[in-house]
Amino acid sequence: MTVRIAPSVLAADFRHLGHDIAVCEAGGADWIHVDIMDGRFVPSLSFGSKVIDAVKRSTALTIDVHLMVVEPERYFDECAKAGANVLTIHAEAAPHLDRQLMRIKELGCKAGVALNPGTPLSAIEEVAHLLDLLLIMSVNPGYGGQKFIEYSVDKIARARWLLDQADSNAVLEVDGGISRDTIGRCFDAGADTLVVGNAIFSAADPTGEIRVLRDLCVETA
């Protein structure tokens, strides 16, 4: 199984965003992950479509946008126009998943659903065949730098089984507390895409850190 490393620019230095993205590319990053938070669905408030546009102008890598917002459909058009390649919404904030996923696809983006740690996988069983991406949150969303929730590993394994049973080719992504200590276990459990923030951007050598993280996945395969 191929692993994708998706640095989260939430942890980047916004004075030098283009530089930090270039550093990630030099380390072999596969995607760039952008978190949009509205201060309602989660306590924090973060950037919007203008940052997506800035990232788009800085890289040709896939831009993976995670909408931690209420009424996510209000953001679809502007995010797609700004350059998002993947749009992921939270099941907890999206009571009309079928319609919302289809709208994302109509806009030309890949459609994903995220699940908070306390949300069961049953929340997406009926739409598993529509998913381009399933995101398992391994921390409670809203802040960077949180500790990895250990029971997430079992949930990742069950998510992999669910996608396989649905004959789905969806990406299985994990976000939260991903580091040298946790990335191998997540990959072993079936995750193929790992969102990494602080572990990369706080490293003395971010380029080298991406390579180390990728090698840890290969070692556990």
Specify the 3-state DSSP secondary structure of 55. Answer: helix
Q: CA-CA distance, 61 to 57, in Å (whole number)? A: 10
DSSP labels, 101-153: HHHHHHTT-EEEEEE-TTS-GGGGGGGGGG-SEEEEESS-TT-SSPPPPTTHH
Q: Which residues are catalytic?
A: 35, 175
**C-alpha to C-alpha distances, 182 to 1, 103, 202, nearest whole angstrom:** 17, 34, 16
Q: CA-CA distance, 116 to 135, in Å (whole number)? A: 9
